[in-house]
Amino acid sequence: MVVSEPPADESESRSRWPMSNLAELGLQPLYLHREEFSYEVLVQERPCPERYPRRLGIPAKRPLF
């Protein structure tokens, strides 16, 4: 999966996605590109748990990160 990242900040060294939350979904960061535009490549290392996707409205009430 490729996700767009906001423009880089000098204090920002890594992705905006918390590693523990990505791991919970079975995702692992593979590559972070930061130049004129930024994006991150995430790889599905294991199946996503059965409890996802969540019911309509739940992500807005209780976001993962």
∠ CA 38-28-54, nearest 5°, is 95
* pLDDT (tens digit per residue) in 45-61: 999 898 888 888 888 89
pTM: 0.69
Predicted confidence (pLDDT) per residue in 5-46, tens digit: 887 665 555 667 788 889 999 999 999 888 888 899 999 999
- pLDDT at position 59: 87
Q: Could you tell me if 43 and 32 are in contact, meaning their C-beta atoms sit under 8 angstroms apart?
A: no
